Chains A and B, each alone.
Chain A
Amino acid sequence: MTQITQRWACGGALLAVFCLAATLAASAEIPLDQRRSSYDLMSRETRAMQDDDAANPGMLWVLDGEALWRAKTGTADKTCADCHGEAADSMKGVAARYPAFDTASGRAVDLEQRINICRRDKQNASPLAYESKDLLALTTYVARQSRGMPIESAADERLKPIVETGRVLFTRRQGQLNLSCAQCHDDNWRQKLAGSPLTQAQPTGYPLYRLEWQTVGSLQRRLRNCLIGMRAEPYAYGSPEYVALETYLMWRARGLKLETPAVRP
């Protein structure tokens, strides 16, 4: 009996120490000069795959996206190029500024949503489903035009409350494991999780080709992945929570260079 009590007491003390440590470590945002893309954590081989356009599988989506950019669609029978011209000129730097504030709806929209708004308003076409090959291809093609440019999302004053919402979601404990995003990605990014490096969660290369997925995926898919890992219920694709998280993460990554299409393990 005494032994059991002792064990409980010991366990309680350990827990208290852990909680104290967790409290002390919490809410520490990564200093600006220590932020880095998870490109730096990848193996030499995976980095080589990303750097070589002839080996980067994300380029297949860029090629498809280019074809879609020039394809007539919807009842308006217009192509993206009819309004925007050459993507290399008109889309340069655009992805580095997204999610952006949409005046018409009064909320933040990410690049995927912007493409679907354009389809609805200008092309009279049906929206493309999240994670569909066509939406990923168009998004990758548009984002590719900003490769190498520094992220400057959320410079818009109107996005400040959305960044704050994203920060709250990022630091809030949730799910059956009672974890917050920040506990891994702000407090423990120097550590490893199950042998793999914990990243800083800097969304520098989306949409990106993930070797585990064997396909290109969006940042929302990646967030969904993490939420499932935390045993939390993922939000619905396109929900304001995801867009707020995306806006916060892009603000957090301001100044880092865009890598789309990146390759990740």
Chain B
Amino acid sequence: MARPLINVPARVKRGQTFEIKTLISHVMETGFRYTATGERIPRDIITSFVATYNKEEIFRAVLYPAIAANPFFSFYTVATESGTIAFEWTGDNGFSATESASIVVE
């Protein structure tokens, strides 16, 4: 159950700068921790996050073990055309999650 929570305004004025917020459920296990019996807990993190606006990349982040669980991103972009903003998270152990939101530019 890695359901992302995204917040994109439904309608914006052309040329307006607006905020996008995303939150995803993930343990972000660093790989530096050990169990009580001394076994190393393998690393399990999200390694990359990409946001596209009508297929054009507007934001990209590379994630490292120091980033806390359930990573939250907030960033801004400028409203150009109506369309779709798509998000993709990928990570260790084949982790992949996608989500998208449609936006109307007036």
Contacts and interface: CB of A to CB of B under 8 A. Distances in A.
A10 interface: no
Kindly list the 9 A-B residue pairs having the minimum CB-CB distance in the complex, ordered from nearest.
Answer: A54-B7, A214-B69, A60-B25, A57-B70, A54-B21, A64-B1, A63-B3, A214-B68, A59-B5
Query: Interface size bucket, A side?
Result: 10 to 19
Contacts of A67: 1, 3
Interface string B23-34: 111001000000
Contact of B23 (A57, A133, A215): A57
Contact of A60 (B3, B21, B68): B3
Interface in B5-51: 5-7, 21, 23-25, 28
B1 A215 contact: no
Nearest to B2: A60
A129 interface: no
B88 to A, nearest CB: 18
A7 B25 CA distance: 58
B97 to A, nearest CB: 12
Query: Interface size bucket, B side?
Result: 10 to 19
A13 interface: no
Nearest to B3: A63
A55 interface: yes
Given A60-B3, A60-B5, A63-B3, A55 B21 contact: yes
Contacts of A59: 5, 23
A67 to B, nearest CB: 7
B74 to A, nearest CB: 7
Contacts of B64: none
Contacts of B74: 55
Given A54-B23, A64-B3, A215-B69, 10 more contacts: A54-B7, A55-B23, A55-B72, A57-B25, A57-B70, A57-B72, A60-B3, A60-B24, A64-B25, A214-B68
Interface string A48-66: 0000101101011001100
Contacts of B21: 52, 54-55
A208 B23 CA distance: 17
